[in-house]
């Protein structure tokens, strides 16, 4: 199992709506992520800068690279696009983060 972390950014004034939508995550989206080998997925918000920090654990044999082609993932991206910085295909703009410390 490996872990990845990345950052994203919200548009101004949408933090409550972003949280609400994730509180009501679509069961079919959650199932798709789990089927791809993603687990223990958390997103944190730094409210002052609107920066989101995400961490996911992924099975070594994950299929996460195929998720952008999934219709449910693309539908979620379209649903979330008004709330965050996105690429032209509505995927979130992400920046990978490098781990510099870990303590078990």
CA 74 vs CA 38, 39, 41, 55, 67: distances in Å: 17, 19, 18, 20, 9
| Catalytic choice (22, 28, 40, 46) | 22
Q: Give the three-class secondary structure for 100.
A: coil
| CA 100 – CA 98 distance, rounded (Å) | 6
Q: Is 102 a catalytic residue?
A: no
Residues labelled catalytic? 22
């Amino acid at each position: 199992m490996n872990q990845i972390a990345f950052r994203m950014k919200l548009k101004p004034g949408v933090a409550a709506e972003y949280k609400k939508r994730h509180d009501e995550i679509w069961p079919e989206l959650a199932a798709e992520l789990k089927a791809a080998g993603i687990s223990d997925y958390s997103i944190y918000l730094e409210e002052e800068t609107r920066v989101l920090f995400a961490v996911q654990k992924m099975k070594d044999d994950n299929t996460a690279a195929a998720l952008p082609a999934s219709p449910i993932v693309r539908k979620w991206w379209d649903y979330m696009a008004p709330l965050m910085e996105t690429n032209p295909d509505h995927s979130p703009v992400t920046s990978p983060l490098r781990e510099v410390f870990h303590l078990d």
